Homo-oligomer: A and B are copies of this chain.
Amino acid sequence: MSHPQSGCPHPRSLFHAPTRYALQALVRMPGDGTYRLARNLAAELNLPGPFLAKILQTLAHADILESLRGPTGGFRLTRAPERITLREVVVAMEGPEPFEECLLGHAVGGEGCHCPIRPAWDILQTLLTTTLARTSLRDLQAAQSAPDRPEDPDLSVAAPV
């Protein structure tokens, strides 16, 4: 029976679609100071050009990309990919509040939430946040070329970075 009331085509993703597109676009950004065209990038990602352009604009507002108009224009990274974290990108696209505090929908702030899964939920959120914070865009770009699996992540989620 599955979904409440409708056939659901693809499996759910953790973040919104534009966040995925943002990551996919950033991976393809040149490392030198070259500007890249939105239209060009959109074709490569099989996305509608104007839609990707919006996403790139959002990234530009977040100081992850910078833009130049006119011919020879386009978008480029504001910094070296080593200095851009995935967390930064996700925050730019999704906002600073990642998720609700627990599965029953209790709000951030945590008072009055006594779910037994709450501790696990907290750990999940911390692991996700720290992993995103520790991973740079460069790491993501490198992984796209090298098919080798990277090292396992650190599970000691003591201090959020």
Residues of A within 8 A of B (CB): 1-5, 8, 10-16, 18-20, 23-24, 27, 54-55, 58, 61-62, 86, 92-100, 103-105, 107-108, 114-120, 123-124, 127-128, 131-132, 135, 139-140, 142-144, 146-153, 155
Contacts and interface: CB of A to CB of B under 8 A. Distances in A.
A16 B4 contact: yes
A119 B3 contact: no
A50 to B, nearest CB: 12
Contacts of A86: 103, 117
A131 B120 contact: yes
Contact of A143 (B8, B115, B127): B115
Contacts of A15: 103
Nearest to A4: B18
A140 B128 contact: no
Contacts of A107: 11
B116 A139 contact: yes
